[in-house]
Amino acid sequence: MKDPVIISVGGGKGGVGKSTITTNIGAVLTTRGFSVGYIDADLGGANLHLCLGIKRPRTGLQDYIKGRYKHLNEVAVQTVIPNTWLISGASDILELANPNFAQKQKIINNLKKMDADYILVDLGAGSDYHITDFYAAFPFGIVVIDGFPTSVENAYAFLKNGIIRGLVHLFRGNKELQNRIRNFSDPVSKKGFSTVDQLIGNLEKDYTNEVTIIRQWLQSRKTFLILNMVKSGEDIRIGTRFAELVKKYLSIPLHYIGYIIYSPEIRKSIRAMHPFILNPQNSKTKECFVAVTQNLVKVTQNPYLNP
């Protein structure tokens, strides 16, 4: 059995369409013959099950975290999309909204053993470490923005915090280095180091080997940008500008893999608890999902390729 390709779907802001995009990309992947697993890591605001046509999931992540089931695959349920399963994040237990690091690590490690060609990890809104740890854990990540300035800012903060979390985890036990990484600040406040390149430059003298590890980690990551709810050509340019900003300040390439147009049909399908892409009619919106997924497949099946 091949390891699954695990992709997180985040972006900082709520309501930009992370769960919608997760649902429909997964559905397009199944039409290409891939099996797909979904995991709702939006603990506290979980609703991916509704997008996937499940009113009340029988089991979910809470049962695994609480130890009611030993194996992650025991808490997965089938969805209305053939050839997919879901591990739901829905829970009545408030404390599970923010699992601790060990619990998260256990989920992350065991997710890799699950049976699927692709696993899509739907993240909650925000950019604190409860969320960004999931971005940092997997080499592939999708960032969704909707073209509004707030979504661009939130996505930037999400990526920056995700990178810092990832780098800090590389050096567990080295408190001094971890603190120097944490002090890396954003370009707006002008405190500390404004770019990841500057941070690396500053560390180079004291931490030669570690800087090599940092560089490798940054280069090993593939982050994809999707622009959602696009209404005009200007919206599309926001995506290109955002990718440039991320490259300049955060030193990770952000691959723009396409946009999804604004479509009232999507809203309707969510209300009907029916994944949009399963509608038999062809539409421009459907074409967008297919194009984005094709780009994603190209890169994830051959990581040396850029879209």
Ligand X SMILES: Nc1ncnc2c1ncn2[C@@H]1O[C@H](COP(=O)(O)OP(=O)(O)O)[C@@H](O)[C@H]1O
Q: Which positions lie near ligand X, rule CB under 6 A?
A: 14-20, 228-229, 260, 262-263, 266-267, 270
In the window 89-148, what residues touch Mg ion (CB under 5 A)?
none
Shortest separation between residue 14's beta carbon and ligand X, angstroms: 4
CB-CB contact of 18 with 10 (8 Å): yes
> Which lies closer to ligand X via its Cβ, residue 231 or residue 241?
231
Residue nearest to Mg ion (CB): 19
Shortest separation between residue 121's beta carbon and Mg ion, angstroms: 12
> Which lies closer to ligand X via its Cβ, residue 16 or residue 25?
16
> Which lies closer to ligand X via its Cβ, residue 246 or residue 292?
292
Q: What is the DSSP letter of 88?
A: B
DSSP 165-216: HHHHHHTTT-HHHHHHHHT---TTT--S-SSHHHHHHHHHTT-HHHHHHHHH
Shortest separation between residue 122's beta carbon and Mg ion, angstroms: 6
| Binding partner of 263, given ligand X, Mg ion, none, CB within 5-8 angstroms per partner class | ligand X
CB-CB contact of 88 with 61 (8 Å): yes
Strand duo 140-145 + 5-10: pairing: parallel
> Which lies closer to ligand X via its Cβ, residue 4 or residue 124?
124
CA 164 to chain centre: 16
> Which lies closer to Mg ion via its Cβ, residue 18 or residue 222?
18
| Binding partner of 267, given ligand X, Mg ion, none, CB within 5-8 angstroms per partner class | ligand X
d(CA 34, CA 53): 20
In the window 3-22, what residues touch Mg ion (CB under 5 A)?
18-19
CB-CB contact of 307 with 257 (8 Å): yes
Give residues in contact with Mg ion (CB under 5 A).
Answer: 18-19
